A and B are shown apart, each in its own frame.
Chain A
Amino acid sequence: MNLIKFLDEFTTDKMQEPMTSRRAMFGQLGSLGKKAALAAVPFGLATASNKAMAQSTGDVVGVLNLALTLEYLEDEFYAMALDSGVLSNNAKAEAIYMQISKHESQHVDFLTAAIEGAGADPVAKPSFDFTVGGTFDPFNENGAGQATAYAQLLALAQAFEDTGVRAYKGQAANLMGSAGVLTAALQIHSVEARHASEIRRLRGLEGWITGNERGAGMPAATQAVYDGATTEANIIQGGLDVTTLGSGSPFTMDAATQAYDEILTGDEAVTIASLFIES
């Protein structure tokens, strides 16, 4: 299955309506330049084809193909990171990347088998551009230098892992009724969360997300990872304001937002991934 066709069909939520937020998103990502805007192909396609709601709730294969797309991205990123030599002077970072790389590769294989097992076609692996048209140089291919490349390599890993956690979480409800698939997706989801925690701590941050802060050293372009229709700063859980359930340190804004991760919708996850997809 062609990736763009898949992304086109994966239009879960009101692609027509939020033009303002879409413009805001482009504005936010403006620093990435024209290439980034062009990379956000699914917007245009979805708007043009008017296929809103094409993906019905409970489209298990659609969910798995979205997951596979995100895993392709992570798998290739970590493999290229390890090949780049940028980590070769840092035993800790290299060991962490190797462990994560192994898991992302396993996730690609697992999801591919699951989709084929369901009698469907796994989405084709896209071509990725982790420089986002030359904005970044995480593999030190364009002369950024080791230190800059290393910082970008870690920043991108944090963005991908925190995105992965939110994206899987956003799809869980679409897997209700398919107990085996749901459980496996939850098992991948918590592995992504372990990765996210470790990468964040490797970067000197806490393992959890405070408010919708992307954290020190994260490029402004990654803010979309912490925003969305429900931002990471959300404090209303199941209709309850979790800052009001008691007094003291557990009920501060910081603690109350750290204690709950939030979802990304399918569209939001696709938008973020699309920045790194050439075709």
Chain B
Amino acid sequence: MKKKKSIEVKTQTVGRNRRNFLKVSGLALAGSSLLLASCSDDDDSGNMMGGGTFDLGTGDVGVLNYAYALEQLEAAFYTNVVNGSFYASASADEKAILLDLYNHEVNHREFFKAAIGANVPMEQQLTADLEFDFSSVDFGNRDSVLGTARVLEDTGVSAYNGAGQYIQTAVYLTLAGKIVSVEARHAAAIRSIINGSADYTAFAGDDIIDDNGLDLAASPAEVISAAGGFFVTPFTYNNPGA
């Protein structure tokens, strides 16, 4: 077994990176409380590593846990938005969209909780109680809430698109497909209401769709480093491929 190379970002840098994360479109930044490891051929399938850090696992187990982590994040964010009575200037249309997104993401979260509970050995199950840090989000501010929603939805799309190749069972791949297209519908709606008449093409803008007409796809390492600022509970995803 090769030695793991872990990159641990110190806590004091997290705040700054989290702010940057919100400025950038979502996939460029490193910086988080996560341990990002590489160069491991460890074949463990989701477990506690020596240091007590949970690894999401490999193959189907890894993708299920990965999706569960992202859905927990999205659901926690929209729960804060909804429980905070939205931002003061939210229109009825915006509230309706955000409430729908809350409903969908909570349903996704509970689906993965149940699916993992039924199909993954106990010691390989990601905790249902990931902790998040949303201190970088101003829940009273439209730009902050919608900007964060855009990053989370675009990141969700890129994550599912990038992880499809690691799924080994057809039914799980189809399930991921059922969810990712809803995330893409969300992303388009959020981008559309952010930009309004300033840019009617933002729903599938040139900033995210490439010259082949392809959407974002990102590796787990890219996604975790982009969204990592929100995760308080550390975990790794060392070997997505089986």
Contacts and interface: CB of A to CB of B under 8 A. Distances in A.
Interface of A: 91-92, 95-96, 98-100, 102-107, 109-110, 165, 168-170, 172-173, 176, 179, 182-184, 186-198, 201, 206-208, 237-238, 240, 242, 245-246, 249-252, 255-256, 258-263
Nearest to B78: A250
A259 B107 contact: yes
A189 B180 contact: yes
Given A96-B200, A99-B200, A255-B107, 13 more contacts: A99-B204, A172-B164, A173-B174, A183-B161, A186-B160, A187-B216, A189-B215, A190-B183, A194-B187, A240-B114, A242-B110, A255-B100, A263-B178
A201 B192 contact: yes
Closest 10 CB pairs of A and B: A106-B213, A193-B184, A95-B200, A187-B214, A197-B185, A250-B106, A255-B103, A193-B181, A173-B170, A197-B188
Contact of A99 (B108, B181, B201): B201
Contacts of B115: 238, 240
B164 A182 contact: yes
A237 B177 contact: no
B167 interface: yes
B174 A263 contact: yes
A176 B185 contact: no
B170 A201 contact: no
A207 B185 contact: yes
B214 A201 contact: no
A17 B193 CA distance: 46
Contact of A95 (B113, B164, B167, B201): B201
Contacts of B185: 193-194, 196-197, 207-208, 261
Contact of B201 (A96, A172, A182, A191): A96
Interface string B137-150: 00000000000000
- Interface SS, B side: helix
Contacts of A96: 200-201, 203
Given A106-B212, A176-B167, A245 B201 contact: no
Given A198-B204, A250-B104, A261 B182 contact: yes
A165 B157 CA distance: 14
A76 to B, nearest CB: 15
B180 A110 contact: no
A183 B189 contact: no
A261 B217 CA distance: 19
Contacts of A173: 170, 173-174
A190 B178 contact: no
B106 A201 contact: no
Nearest to A92: B200
Interface residues of B, number: 58
A259 B105 CA distance: 8
A103 B204 contact: yes
A186 to B, nearest CB: 5
Given A191-B215, A249-B103, A250-B110, A197 B203 contact: yes
A208 B100 contact: yes
Contact of A197 (B108, B161, B180, B184): B184
Contacts of B217: 183, 186-187
A91 B215 CA distance: 25
B39 to A, nearest CB: 20
Contacts of B173: 172-173, 176
B209 A103 contact: yes
B114 A190 contact: no
B215 A188 contact: yes
B192 A191 contact: no
B207 interface: no
B201 A92 contact: no
A194 B197 contact: no
